[in-house]
Amino acid sequence: MTSEMISKFYDFSGRSMVITGGGGVLCSEMAVAIAACGARIAILDRDLSLAQKVSDRITKSGGTAIAVQADVLNLDRLAEAKEQVTKTFGDVDTLINGAGGNNPKATTGAAQPFFNLPPEALRFVFDLNIVGAILPSQVFGRSMAERKRGNILNVSSMNAFRPLTRIPAYSAAKAGVSNFTQWLAVHMAQEYSPEIRVNAIAPGFFLTEQNRFLLTDQATGALTERGKKIMDHTPMARFGTPHDLLGTVLWLLSPASAFVTGTIVPVDGGFSAYSGV
């Protein structure tokens, strides 16, 4: 295999991709990297202004992107988003299910014991992370099934491997995302085409707007007690940066991983490998 053949693995020219939650910290960097490889990418987000910022960033650097408002829990709105993307870019061959997150009301603490977590907060977390991956996969995966090829990449979490304290709904929901990834990989390959692949990444601890002040002190920037525990159990002894995800994401979206499906890849600085001793 020549170097030219290898470099073509990561040439996404002519491919149309969609990323949900594309206005977020991690997903926005994925979108920028994918566009830099030549893909046409639709940035879907519930907040159109966030999606537009990412789209503008890509187009200003010479890439091709559009911003589309979409709620991953609204099937009709997803269908409208698909129609908009298809009219602009043609058939979608890649979907990244990046939308997800936790809810403070579904987090335990001194003032909020597990027994008092409100059902509506628990449902919100489950719906956002699991249903929010299933519905886009139905909408955009249908045309992949018809065309007998495609690629779906989900975003799971280290919580799926090792449940973390205080966030029971989020941990369980992300475990569901990993399970759904494996289920859908088998279903698509057996029922439609082995050229439809479904995988997931499982990020470890990355500083985002959601968790920054759980892991670092807002006033000093020093690690909180929770942040210290994470560092003590991360062999690489640092938080991940958005760029740390890109190599794995690009690999899973490329022909270089053509024989990989149903896999959840940790990107965690060794957290999942360390027993603590």
Res 143 pLDDT > 70? yes
**Domain spanning 12-204+240-266: CATH 3.40.50.720:** yes
Non-local (6+) Cβ contacts of 57 within 8 A are: 28, 32
The verdict on whether 170 is a catalytic residue reads yes
* DSSP secondary structure code for residue 256 in this structure: G
What are the sequence ranges of the domains in the chain?
Answer: 12-204+240-266
The one catalytic residue in 10, 170, 192, 274 is 170
| Closest listed residue to residue 101, CA positions, set 32, 216, 24 | 24
Cα distance between residue 142 and residue 183, in whole Å = 16
- What digits encode the pLDDT tens for the residues 196-254? 999 999 999 987 766 776 777 777 888 888 889 889 999 999 999 999 999 999 999 99
pLDDT at residue 161 in the model: 93
pTM above 0.85, yes or no: yes
